[in-house]
A and B are shown apart, each in its own frame.
Chain A
Amino acid sequence: MAERKVQVAVDVGGTFTDLVALYADPHTGTQRVVTAKVDTTPPEFEKGVLQVLQKGGVPVGETALLIHGTTVVINAITERRGVKVGLITTEGFRDVLEIARGDRPDFFNLLYRKPPPFVPRYLRREVPGRMTYRGEERSPLDTNVLPGILEDFKKEGVEAVAVCLLHSYANPSHEERVVQEIRRLWPDVPVIASHEITREWREYERTSTTVLCAYVLPVAQRYLDRLGQGLADQGFGGQIYIMHSNGGVETLERTKRVPITMIESGPAGGFLGAAELGRLLGEPNILALDIGGTTAKCSLIVDGQVRIKTDYWIERDRKSSGYPIMVPVVDVVEIGNGGGSIAWVDDFGRLHVGPQSAGAQPGPAAYGRGGQDATTTDANLALGRINPNYFCGGEIEADMDAVNMALDRLSARLGMKREEVARGIIRLANNNMVNALKLVSVNRGYDPRDFTLMAFGGGGGMHAVALARELGMRKVIIPWAADVFSAFGMLMTDLRRDYLITQLISLDTPQAASRLSWLAESLTQTALEELKAEGVPLERARLLYFGRIRYENQEHTVEIPLPPPPYREDSLSQIAQTFHEAYEREYTYRLNAPLEFVTLHLVLGVAIDRLQVPRMPRTGRSLEEAMKGVRTVDFDLEGVQPAKIYDGHSLEPGMAFEGPAIVETKGTTVVVHPGCRAEVDDFGNLHIYL
């Protein structure tokens, strides 16, 4: 039995901690998957992790690989449970953190409050010394001021130090020396410099990123240590990887050094999973949609690649400018529409859905916990799409009286019938999601009809077919275990590191090709040396190159794939060609203007030793055996019709059926509209053809 392979992913989300465990028996070749779910346990998140391992019956001592996604970082920031940070900047720039960018998104509001800085003025200090944007030293660094600054920091109870100097993206040597000096003078204090996180320009964004990283550094380190200890206590001797926001996993050691890079760790797992599953199924172009309790997130996957962005912000909306975190994050559009989103009527008799959510407490009216407001979930219950007798996998008895009362309150305001209101809620929620899906596709020059919609999360299956129909899409895939798909996705992930470095190169100058080659080759060398130092065989590394390029004088860049270095004149014209095409696809025109290279983006991938997604066994069960019955379901424009109800846990590869139908599992409901055909593939995923 010792050769049995066990690989596990645990995803700590805002509400639930999800588990997916893969078992493989090399003797029989059989594989098995187990899923489990427990409540998340803030602030001691590691407890939930240990609980879900226990609930899922995972033999921790036998587990070879554990991949972990966690909200511990974002949670520490949003709940302001980080540590007291001291900041060291270039002379003349300590106020950058408070000045921010001077914007006021809520622009008619004369009582706008700016988000307060995470480091107050008296803990922001300066060192003399300047670099130029070309990375040349303009005036020397003077570290003689550091002992005094650190003494003050100690007296004030500073627990972590952030260092961000001007133009350190071009030349980090001043930052490196400041960090060395701090380590010498105050060895115990956690310290982080901006160049260790990002090599992109813009001092406010980089300072904010460094400060927030320092703010969570001790919290995240303690958490990861406790988790490691808790697992070790149960005999865990395998390899741990942490899911990062860029859709890849990273080692525990590196994560401890720069924990801010796991800020969006959970959602990244789902989208990376969608890309990998798409590749497995021969569907490289995917529009991926994750509908949870409070939000819906979507992302576009082209040719099997998730898109990464580095202009990520937290607490940013139309009312507040929030805080930038300049780390690679899967490019996701998120809207305040999930199963718990509240429907409400404004002063002018117009119905809206979200962004307020009923959360888990009191939750939708149907929870019967005193929720007075109708939510998207309540509307789905009223229309018969969700089974009131199998609500939340039968764990909660749906309080239909409360649902009806909540809807009737809206009916009275709107002068509409109860079922019209319920349909209206779903139509509005779908409309919001369609707009989000268009933002990531149509707005970037991609036609959704060339893509397959892959929907997951608790609410994905409920809305997917209607959304696909609205967008003219032909096919929907609901993955197996859709409700824990983020965790499942983590088991399909490889180690991934994104290196970004800003270096302006006018592509029409004679030295352009050699400068670009030098940049790409030296960055490659850095990446590979780090890998080598960790003892990873270099032949496992895959390198992908991208360039962020713009027309000269523009600000915004378009990222395009680059061939590997070295570059010659002819490679530059090929790069220009690719840029013009990508630009025109997105913006409808091209210019005859010189091009400027802004940022090199190197992606390093290293395959980790992981199991393949298992095929689902066929027991020979018939479709009729999987059918639970028939109930009347309101399909809005397609009318009220009797629909066959299938037990999702009993469906097997090869089974196929026509809509109208509903597929129910413990964690999710899939609505198959009339006129659609559904098929179960070899892995248990449901393919719906419109």
Chain B
Amino acid sequence: MKDPITVEIIAEGLEAAAQEMLLVLQRTAMSPIVYEVLDAGAGITDAAGRLVASGAGIPTFVSIIDRAVRAAHAHFGEDIRPGDIFLTNEPSQGGVTHLNDVAAVMPVYAIGRRVAWVGVIAHWSDVGGGVAGSMMAGAGELFQEGIRIPPIKVAEGGKILTHVFRLLKTNSRLPDFLEGDLWAQIAALKAGERRVRELARRYGYEVFVDTLNEILEAGYKRALQGLANLPQGDFALEEEQDDGSCFRVRVQIRPDQFVVDLRDNPDQMPGPYNLYRDATEIAAQMIFKALVDPRREGANAGFFRPLKVITRPGSLFDALPPAACGFYYELRMRVYDLIWRCLATHHPALLPAGHFATIGGTVLSGRNPDNQKAYVLVEPQPGGWGAFWEGDGVSTLFSAFHGETYICPAEVAEARYGLEVERMALNEEKGGEGRYRGGKGFVRVYRMRAEALLTVGFTRTRIPPWGLAGGGPGTPNRVEIIYPDGSIRRLGIASGVRLPPGARVRIVTGVGGGYGARGDSEGR
């Protein structure tokens, strides 16, 4: 059965189901980081856990769900039944990223057989551990970063296991947020499960399964076609980091293969900046997708087949438990930017110059002085993007790891958290010069009306975003605390920093890298 119309209808139906899951999650979640940052993703896999459709709001979550499905499968084998829902946040067992990101997956049965899985992952605001928000700058082990959840069931045969809810809530500083977010995930899974079940029922087992295979094959063909259009060869780059260490990458592009070799890199660290292997692989998948087929659609297991990522167990990019990983995302940004820079440097008409390249994770927690209710503000920061061969860089967009991520309006932040937003403006610093200029960064100033705790994770705080083809570098990112007495403290990565009432937090993100030497040809 290879009727192209049916294939198209099922493929569209799966994409729609994945989108719908994400929409339900966004509308019902309790945590701003889920509904505003969309630090969340949804996906559908075939019965074997191969990704066939994704409804991610941000690209980093496109290919996470499949790993959680495979982990659930590995642990429960025969003990998987209709109406079961599984959870995991363990980075080496389907959790991928850090303990805050909790994946929930659910099998889909139709015509008496398992035909697919649906999954939703979301960032929970607090899962316990050493500091509020669970990302602890001083953490040396996973144990300090919150509750570790290996694949477990949270619903069995359609029945919610309330004791699991209780266990999880007991381990969080924000149990009501946790409960609301978990229910939102369950609602999203149910919506997706219903849609996928209807599709399978309607077209029958054989046609449905054949179509999934067809979708994966089409993905593979598309990847090969894109690969053929890329410059072939072997490329390498080494880059100094803020802390003086050096990262190295080798990329090999062949008509049927895209190999990223990251073996020659430092050992895993005692701090919370490590990447588990699955997280490194996702960074490579993202740059692969951006290069080979930058459309939003079409990220599936077939498409990623030509990609090989080689890592060294025990290194920064293939950490082993119980390596801490709360701030994993900054290291993942570094490895993503490293591959990007490696290819752009060799082929300046392939990718733009470097962007501000930090998540800029900012966590403020305290009590709203207007109603004494506890709050946790968790947000990334936007910044300047790099110029390219035909134009200036874009000003104030979130990093390449984001997509449908939204700046929290000052009016909403002031009401929700009881702090003042003094300023939201473009960062006008000089930088990113060239024939085309880097986009402007972002400045946001918070003034605390009551005591609060601050956690931040910014990189590119010393080494600025890179220029390309003779363009100048951008400017570095930073966070400054301006105390009521006028003294200033500058931060990159820190957690649990006490802010007295009246203190200001000034967030400044960089200008992007420039493109082309100034005065080149047309000039500007």
Q: List chain A positions with a Cβ less than 8 A from chain B.
A: 92-96, 98-114, 121, 132-134, 138, 166-167, 169, 201-205, 318, 347-352, 414, 416, 424, 427-428, 431-432, 435, 443, 504, 506, 551, 553-556, 587-589, 591, 593
Contacts and interface: CB of A to CB of B under 8 A. Distances in A.
B214 to A, nearest CB: 9
Contact of B176 (A96, A432, A553): A553
B221 interface: yes
B16 A108 contact: no
The dominant DSSP class at the A interface is loop
Nearest to A583: B28
B424 A108 contact: no
B294 A110 contact: yes
B406 interface: yes
B177 interface: yes
A489 B271 CA distance: 66
A114 B176 contact: no
Interface string B410-437: 1110110000101111100000000000
B176 A593 contact: yes
B442 A203 contact: no
Given A99-B382, A202-B412, A593-B176, A92 B422 contact: yes
Interface stretch (B180-188, B471-479, B495-503): B180-188
Nearest to B9: A431
B394 A350 contact: no
Interface string B30-62: 111001100000000000000000001011000
B235 to A, nearest CB: 17
A203 B410 contact: yes
Given A109-B290, A204-B409, A350-B8, A555 B35 contact: yes
B295 interface: yes
A553 B406 CA distance: 17
27 contacts: A92-B445, A93-B425, A99-B395, A99-B396, A101-B407, A102-B396, A102-B407, A103-B402, A103-B403, A104-B404, A107-B403, A109-B294, A201-B412, A203-B411, A204-B409, A347-B222, A349-B4, A350-B218, A414-B4, A416-B4, A431-B9, A432-B12, A554-B35, A556-B35, A588-B190, A589-B187, A593-B180
B7 A104 contact: no
B296 interface: yes
A104 B403 CA distance: 5
B4 A108 contact: no
B180 A554 contact: yes
A671 B12 CA distance: 26
B12 A431 contact: yes
Contact of A105 (B293, B404, B442): B404
A428 B410 contact: no
A111 B352 contact: yes
Contacts of B24: 587
B480 interface: no
Closest 6 CB pairs of A and B: A107-B403, A102-B382, A92-B423, A133-B415, A556-B27, A424-B5
Nearest to A138: B420
Contacts of A111: 294, 352, 388
Interface in B1-37: 4-5, 7-9, 11-13, 16, 20, 23-24, 26-32, 35-36
Contact of B414 (A94, A103, A132): A132
Contacts of A94: 425
B396 A553 contact: no
Given A102-B397, A504-B415, A591-B183, 17 more contacts: A93-B410, A94-B425, A95-B424, A103-B397, A104-B397, A107-B58, A107-B296, A108-B289, A111-B352, A121-B426, A166-B410, A347-B225, A351-B5, A427-B9, A428-B8, A551-B180, A589-B187
Given A202-B409, A435-B12, A428 B28 contact: no
Given A107-B59, A431-B12, A587 B28 contact: yes
Contacts of B16: 435
B407 A348 contact: no
B279 interface: no
A427 to B, nearest CB: 6
Contacts of B27: 556, 587
B32 A555 contact: yes
B98 to A, nearest CB: 21
Contacts of A132: 414
A588 B215 CA distance: 31
B371 interface: yes
Nearest to A438: B16
A101 B299 CA distance: 25
A591 B179 contact: yes
A167 B412 CA distance: 10
